[in-house]
Amino acid sequence: MSTDVQEPPPDATANTEVSDELAAVAAPEVMANSLGEYVRIWFSRVRNGESGALPVILGLVVIVVYFQVRSSLFLSAGNLVNLIGQAAWIVTLGMAEVFVLLLGEIDLSIGFTSVIGATFTCWMLLPPHPVAWPLAVLVGLAVPAIFGGIQGVIITRLRLPSFVVTLAGQLLGTGLLLEVMQQAAPNGGGSIRLYNNVLLNIEGGSLSPIAGWIVMIVAVVLAGGLFLVRDTRRRASNLAAPPLSVTLLKIAAMVVAGVVVVLIGNTNRGVGLTVVNGVPWVVPLVLVVVVAWSFLLGRTRFGRYIYAIGGNAEASRRAGINLNRIRVLAFVLAGLTAGITGIIYTSYLGSVSTGVQGGQLVLLAVAAGVIGGTSLFGGRGKMLGAVLGGIIVAVIYNGLELLGLGAAPQYMWTAAVLLAAVTVDTLARRRSSTG
Amino acid sequence: MDATDSTPDPAGEQVQAQAQAQEQATQAADAQPLLRLTNVGKNFGPVRVLMDINLDFPPGLVTAVVGDNGAGKSTLIKTISGIYQPDGGEIRWQGRQVHLHAPKDATDLGIATVYQDLALCDNLDIVANMFLGREETKFGQLDEIGMEKTAKQTLADLSVVTVRSVRQPVGSLSGGQRQAVAVARAVMRQAKLVILDEPTAALGVTQTRVVLDLIRRLKSQDIAVIVISHNLNDVQSVADRIAVLRLGRVVAVGPASQYDAESIVDLMTTGTSKRLAAVPAEQSGSSSEH
């Protein structure tokens, strides 16, 4: 009649199969012992809405195939490079939004603040007395960052909902843009040109074909090496590491993606006898931003705290995290990233105008984030997701434009995709909270 | 049952352990307690929530604080963990008088309070939760490997074996496992006094057992434990000492073996119990004896 508890031996669970229930929520990287198990865990997660990147990529493939069937021009080098140009600013604005979405907040102002920043940049670069372009860029990034910071302070100090504060910010931004433009180019008819070749080359210029290959190879080798070193170090410390086959598959996927982008870029897209080829400069630029922000979110305290606050603000407060500081910083970073978007967008168009649809841009950014798997409720999402989501939005726009369908179906299709993404997000959350 | 019998007899060992604990508990008043409250009081406006609280919390012992709703349990805990400041009396930590102005003051001393639901981020994994707010870094980067090793070791020391991977998000854990993670976090931070607020509320039988085992393990690491609980079964199975609060006063405190469920209920509801008449109560908490 012993009342003592019979404890399971310590390794009782260690070698057993991963249960479906557990597999549904845990990261396959650390749970799987083999590729087969990895795939099985991964499927359970997809069923539970914890999908990761692959379903988004599959969706992208479906959309691409559809457009290619409807228009053979879609997969032409010329159109794909154009698509990269469009996707670049949707992607970066999506990344800006991810910072605040992860906190469970939203920033509706960044569509306009990005363009206000770019207006300052163009203003400072106006002939006959242009300043050095890095200085102009710095101002173009600082203005939206400060705007974001002020909004962040209002939201945290006065405890107002970010939706309302940044909606006010959007209206204020609309007015500010008109005002700044009036000062910068009184006779410009509401627009100002970008007079700087370095900045114009972000979207307009390309790496030489050989440089494209070199950059791609260096990037893939660095990333792949990093993966392998990390796994090796984990194994050396007796910690669970993903199976080698899984890591190799990931590296292979990166190689394929890199080769495809460089091949597309290096294909001659000139008309007639002029040869135009090379990967646009905007590709490595966006890559740098993605890597930097992913590092910030995934490998630093600041990033950890963003996820923590988005997951459970009260627990984070009790853990001694300064919630207000992190929140304000997130809004500053969202503004800063919006500033980068403004420069890229201006480079794409060659000018800034007051006719820009800042309110619509920001909704595309939210769509990019959410389609890419960032939860509107905070705590879940990745920068890489915003890249994939941004590409999907850009593909829809580009494809429908190519089919000559105009604005109406563009809005409706984006609406449908966004609604689908939000539904998946909400259902996944509901399922995980009920059991 | 003979506890010295050569055949291993867990029940007998338990009896012996309880006897030892009881001995320790009675000696505790003489030895220096980890935390000593003397005449601590707390008012909210005209309402006196705590009055003349005299309590000792010795290391290596589990003290259960029981009482009906509104008895002042939560206020007492919040006073110890620095959320409320007492209006009178003094708090001594290892013999030295301390003033806890903020939760951080208590945490710095080594007082950790574990709340059932509020303490963890469901979206983060176990390692991230255990180190939340105190992440280790190397060259500005999170030292994931170092943190994961420490987390695994701490969980192993507490014999938390049901968790398959420390990289699981906490949202995927059962109630008992979550409690274990929260307690492990406190232990990892060198807590000397761990306060558990209703640790077994809303847990099933198995999960409750996991948590009670965990409390015993804390005890064996010479950590002082305060358990707030409504569940008298749990209290009696794990506590060395019991303090009964009623209407803001300590009406009884002493070795757990002195009380049975009925006498505790008597004390909680009426403040006295005839069943205890034969047993003298411990001196330090006798403020309400008439």
Would you say residue B286 has pLDDT above 70?
Answer: no
Residue B16 lies in a domain: yes
Interchain contact, B161 vs A10, CB within 8 Å: yes
Would you say residue A2 has pLDDT above 60?
Answer: no
* Residue A320 backbone zone (phi > 0: left; psi -120 to 50: alpha; other: beta): left
DSSP H or E run through B40: strand B35-44
Mean pLDDT, residues A190-206 taken together: 92
**Which of A273, B281, B201, A133 minimizes the C-alpha distance to B273?**
B281
Interchain contact, B140 vs A10, CB within 8 Å: no
Interchain contact, B167 vs A29, CB within 8 Å: yes
Q: Is residue A322 within 8 angstroms of chain B, CB to CB?
A: no
Residue B267: give the domain boundaries: 10-285
Would you say residue A430 has pLDDT above 80?
Answer: no
Residue B4 lies in a domain: no
Q: Is residue A429 within 8 angstroms of chain B, CB to CB?
A: no
Interchain contact, B164 vs A13, CB within 8 Å: yes
What is the Cα–Cα distance from B241 to A132, expressed in whole angstroms? 75
Interchain contact, B135 vs A301, CB within 8 Å: yes
Residue B39 lies in a domain: yes
The pLDDT value recorded for residue A301 is: 95
Residue B260 lies in a domain: yes
Torsion of the alpha carbons at A252, A255, A260 and A266, rounded to the nearest 10: -160
Q: Is the ipTM of this complex over 0.85?
A: no
Residue with more model confidence, A401 or A88: A88
Q: Which residues of B touch A314 (CB under 8 A)?
A: 118
Would you say residue A51 has pLDDT above 80?
Answer: no
Would you say residue A357 has pLDDT above 90?
Answer: no
Q: Which residues of A touch B132 (CB under 8 A)?
A: 304, 308, 315-316, 319, 321
The pLDDT value recorded for residue A214 is: 95
| A107-124 pLDDT per residue, tens | 999 999 999 999 999 999
Residue B241 lies in a domain: yes
Interchain contact, A26 vs B118, CB within 8 Å: no
Residue B102 lies in a domain: yes
The pLDDT value recorded for residue B20 is: 58
Mean pLDDT of chain A: 86
| A337-352 pLDDT per residue, tens | 999 999 999 999 999 9
Measure A317 CA to nearest chain B CA, in Å.
9
Closest to A25 (Cβ–Cβ): which among B119, B120, B169?
A: B169
Mean pLDDT, residues B117-139 taken together: 88
Residue B3 lies in a domain: no
Residue B32 lies in a domain: yes
The pLDDT value recorded for residue B31 is: 62
Report the chain A residue with the minimal C-alpha distance to residue B161.
A10
What is the Cα–Cα distance from B120 to A315, expressed in whole angstroms? 6
Report the chain A residue with the minimal C-alpha distance to residue B185.
A319
Share of chain B above pLDDT 90, in %: 18
Q: How many other C-beta atoms lie within 10 A of the C-beta of residue A65?
A: 12
The pLDDT value recorded for residue A293 is: 97
Q: Domain count for chain B, please give it.
A: 1
- Per-residue confidence band for B283, with pLDDT thresholds at 50, 70 and 90: very low
The pLDDT value recorded for residue A251 is: 92
Report the chain B residue with the minimal C-alpha distance to residue A320.
B133
Q: Is residue A226 within 8 angstroms of chain B, CB to CB?
A: no
Q: Which residues of B touch A321 (CB under 8 A)?
A: 132-133
| A216-243 pLDDT per residue, tens | 999 999 999 999 999 999 999 888 888 8
| B203-247 pLDDT per residue, tens | 888 888 888 888 998 888 889 999 998 888 888 888 999 999 888
Mean pLDDT, residues B49-69 taken together: 90
| B21-48 pLDDT per residue, tens | 555 555 544 567 889 998 999 988 888 8
CATH of the domain at B136: 3.40.50.300
Residues 3-32 of A with CB under 8 A from B: 3-5, 7-10, 12-14, 18, 22, 24-27, 29-31
What is the Cα–Cα distance from B45 to B56, expressed in whole angstroms? 27
Residue pair B210/B176 in contact (Cβ under 8 Å)? The answer is yes
Domains along the sequence of chain A with CATH: 52-205+280-425 (1.10.3470)
Mean pLDDT, residues A179-194 taken together: 91
Q: Is residue A299 within 8 angstroms of chain B, CB to CB?
A: yes
The pLDDT value recorded for residue B16 is: 57
Residue with more model confidence, B128 or B287: B128
